[in-house]
Amino acid sequence: MMGAVLVGSGLVGSGPGKGGAALAQSSSPFSGISGWFDGEPGSPLELKFDIEGDDGSLERSIRAASLVQGARAEGRITAQDILAAARGDYARILGTLYDSGYYDAVINITLDGIEAAQIAPLDAPGAVQSVTIAVQPGPQFRFSRADIAPVAPGTELPSDYRQGEPAGTGVMKSAAVAGVDGWRNVGHAKADVASTDIIADHRSDTVDSRVVLAPGPALTFGQLTIRGYERMDPRRLRKMAGFPEGERFDPEKIEDMRKRLRRSGVFSAITITETDGVGPGNTQDVDLLVIEQKTRRIGGGFELSNENGLALTGYWMHRNLLGGGERLRFDAAISDIGAETSGEDYSAGVRLDRPATLHPDVTGYLLFQVARTRDEDYDLDSATVGLGFTYLPSDWLTADIALLYNAQRVNDEGEKTDFRFVSLPMSVTWDRRDDQTDPTRGYWLSGNLTPFLGMDDTDSGARVLGEGRAYFTPGTEGRLTFAGRARLGTILGADLAQTPRDYLFYSGGGGSVRGQPYESLGVEVIRGPEGLIKTGGMSVANMSAEVRYQLREKIGLAVFADWGQVWAEDGFGGDSGSHSGAGIGVRYKTPIGPLRFDLAGPTSGDTGSGVQAYLGLGQAF
């Protein structure tokens, strides 16, 4: 049987063969390690941990569970606060020891040498100068048997729930949860633990663990009940949720419902509950409770460069325009404010999104955009109108396709050209980063294919662009991150002079090669009234490498190097030029992402000189 434990007063584990209890003395010598917690510099309270015979892993778990350590880190160090935390730590530390398989432990928590458990809750001392948390874990128990049955096909049980492994309560709980989840994943919604038989043998330091599961019947999805909506049309809400009525029960499909509704942006809270009991015909009914957000939202952003000046963006959005989750959004942007080499650029657009169009995971949209661009090499006025569909089958995969009509007028150093064309942009993005604004692990892949059909003097062809990003953080502290980016693009089937100017490729600036002026690298192959005209190329390649180091909780440093090359012909052929840049940066963590400040200069090429400065929100990539 499991030995009883009364920590603090000294009675510990009198299981079979132990011959009685051991009295814990705060003055007992310890052969283990000791350490001082330095989480709150300048704090007058000393906190010491003594863990007998530990290699450091157990102490880390105990530190993480300790209420005293948490109170000290937060500056709550009055005697009453510390006493309350210390008395609560007995149970928390005991639970941590049980999770690791230690069932014969002695725990002492002393406040200035007095056992905390012997101090009455209302009799706290006037002040506490030091706290010592001393633990004698005793032997680590191991499984003599680790059985769980019946187990559903395909169930993945914890690898350490087996004979000979440490017999922690945590792994036993994980095995029971995995067993239940295994049955639920194959349609048994009411699966549960029928019984547990766990015996700790203190003579052999082993645990005999047996878990019996009750799968229950296989169920299908029954009825969906919806509550809480105010402005939403319930018929549209059902379509957005995509409830799989009549299909075999699957908890993943319930999670898919939650994700679809969350992505719509209409709701501030979504609660999906499986109803109690089994419905007629072995069905599982589901209850959906939603709380709608305020319908309107406004936002904006900025980026600052010493050469390209200030860029400002803003938007206004209505989340539920017609009661069916329709999102109406107006965007406006002004860039190159105060730029040294170009005029100001303006853009504005309106977009209407409708979720659950054709399929619960498909959002249809209509858009209209106008823009005026005043670059160093050309002026561009454009208008775009079209419709499209976005497919979001998961949190990681996004696919998009649209049919657009584009009208442009370009002024290349006095020579005006009109472009009229219909395009079919298609894109797929696979995002496996751990954080979108400040990634440290994972990767991001994107592929874009845009066939275009030209009218009048505009050529027809296809624009192809691919980009990959990868992030690696070694070790467990997570301070050092290596990040890399590669980008390749080309235009097929069209002549450069008859290709829409905003389809051509440039290099330089914060989005490609930092340290080089924005879009400073192109080609000069189009002949105008006064000679060759500089314009974008038909192919491009960019590479970036960045090393980031988290110096403190909110302050980070970065060093980086970028490279780019542009070709005059498709397939990376013809005349070309390349350039590169490198620099350093500072990152400051905010609730919405790191604030980024970079300084960079050119390291090769003749497209720029001097130092470029960049200020923005979020990592460069």
Q: How many Å separate Cα 345 from the centre of its chain? A: 33
- Per residue, the 3-state secondary structure of 568-618, as one string, reads EECCCEEEEEEEEEEEEEEEEEECCEEEEEEEEEEEECCCCCCCEEEEEEC
**pLDDT-above-70 percentage for the chain:** 92
Q: What is the pLDDT of residues 13-65, one digit of tens each?
A: 333 333 222 323 232 222 233 333 333 444 588 999 999 988 888 999 999 99
pLDDT higher than threshold 60 for residue 118: yes
Bigger pLDDT: 561 or 304? 561
Residue 224 to residue 447: CA distance in whole angstroms: 38
pLDDT higher than threshold 80 for residue 245: yes
Residue 33 burial (CB count, 10 A):
15
pLDDT higher than threshold 80 for residue 167: yes
Residue 475 to residue 460: CA distance in whole angstroms: 51
Sequence length of the chain is: 621
pLDDT at residue number 373: 87
pLDDT higher than threshold 50 for residue 449: yes
Bigger pLDDT: 601 or 416? 601
pLDDT at residue number 33: 30
The confidence band for 221, taking pLDDT boundaries of 50, 70 and 90, is: very high
* pLDDT, mean of residues 410-432: 91
By DSSP bridging, strand 480-492 and strand 442-455 are unpaired
Mean pLDDT score across all residues of the chain: 89
Which residue's entry shows tokens 């079979």?
A: 16
pLDDT higher than threshold 80 for residue 106: yes
Residue 478 burial (CB count, 10 A):
11
pLDDT at residue number 91: 95
* pLDDT, mean of residues 435-460: 95
Return the sign of the alpha-carbon dihedral for residues 96, 100, 101, 106: negative
